[in-house]
Amino acid sequence: MSKTVSAREKATLIVDFDTWKHLNRIKNELNLNSIDETIRFLIGEHDSTYESWRNYKLGD
């Protein structure tokens, strides 16, 4: 018998140091609590507004 789990429960993201630094910068600029929360924000799963993302991208 197999068990189906969502990818979200088991996902692991491996990134190089430069990518991690960039994610950490985004986390700090948006006052998010973790890199995980930052990734969820970037892919649209975090409870935040589109306006926050648009403002972030315009400032980049």
**What is residue 4's predicted lDDT score, i.e. its pLDDT?**
47
Do the domain assignments include residue 36?
Answer: yes
Distance CA 21, CA 37 (A): 15
How many domains, the chain?
1
Do the domain assignments include residue 9?
Answer: no
Q: CB 56: neighbour CB atoms within 10 A? A: 15
CA distances (Å), origin 16, targets 19, 21, 26:
5, 9, 16
Higher pLDDT, 43 or 6: 43
Domain that holds residue 34: 16-59
Do the domain assignments include residue 10?
Answer: no
DSSP state of 43: T
Do the domain assignments include residue 2?
Answer: no
Do the domain assignments include residue 7?
Answer: no
What are 28-59's pLDDT values in tens digits?
988 888 888 888 788 776 565 556 666 666 66
